[in-house]
Amino acid sequence: MTFEQNAASAIRYANQLSDVIEKDGTWESARLGNPESAAKLGQLPYQLAISYAKVVDPASVVRESEVEMVQKYMVPTGFFASEDKAKAAVKNFQEDIKEKVNVYKQSTGADFSIDFDAGKTKEEDKKPDKQIDQINSYYRSR
């Protein structure tokens, strides 16, 4: 994979993770009411970590221990994770990737574009689920 493909994947995964956190939080309501979100909360941080490692060093082989370290510190998820902190971490990650893309373009003279909205849920696809909203409200009020 090239730098461009890795950066595009990282942005797509970050956008998807941001949507899941926005919709169902960092753990509780996803585990209780939305199996799709629960699956994404398990997968996306791992995929994000791999993508980030490949953006930083596209030619290297990503070792499991490196992925675990990046995953552990990149975006906090889990039962006690703060939703606001997770959202801020995703936003910081997105900004970091955008900056790396700009630096790469300047240093190489490469001319390419990345869809920084890739993976985001479209507004028409966001359908409120009353039960999930009630669960979210309960956990956010604690």
What is the per-residue pLDDT across 34-70, written as a single tens digit (0 to 9) for each?
788 888 888 898 898 889 888 988 887 888 887 777 7
Q: Name the residue range of residue 22's domain.
A: 3-107+123-140
CA torsion sign for 43, 44, 46, 51 is: positive
Q: Quick check: is 83 in a domain?
A: yes
Q: Quick check: is 28 in a domain?
A: yes
Q: Quick check: is 29 in a domain?
A: yes
Whether the per-residue pLDDT at 26 is higher than 80: the answer is yes
Whether the per-residue pLDDT at 98 is higher than 90: the answer is yes
Q: Quick check: is 60 in a domain?
A: yes
Contacts of 116 (CB under 8 A, 6+ apart): 11, 94, 98
Q: Quick check: is 81 in a domain?
A: yes
Rounded-to-integer distance, Cα 101 and Cα 76, Å = 24
How many folded domains does the chain comprise? Answer: 1
Q: Quick check: is 24 in a domain?
A: yes
Whether the per-residue pLDDT at 27 is higher than 60: the answer is yes
Percent of the chain residues topping a pLDDT of 70: 80
Task: Tell me the pLDDT band of 123, cut-offs 50, 70 and 90.
Answer: low
* Residue 73 near residue 53, CB atoms below 8 Å: no
Whether the per-residue pLDDT at 21 is higher than 60: the answer is yes
Q: Quick check: is 118 in a domain?
A: no
- Please state whether the predicted TM-score (pTM) of the whole model is above 0.85: no
What's 82's DSSP letter?
A: -
Q: Quick check: is 114 in a domain?
A: no
What phi and psi, each to the nearest 5 degrees, are found at residue 116?
-75, 0
pLDDT in the model for residue 75 = 83
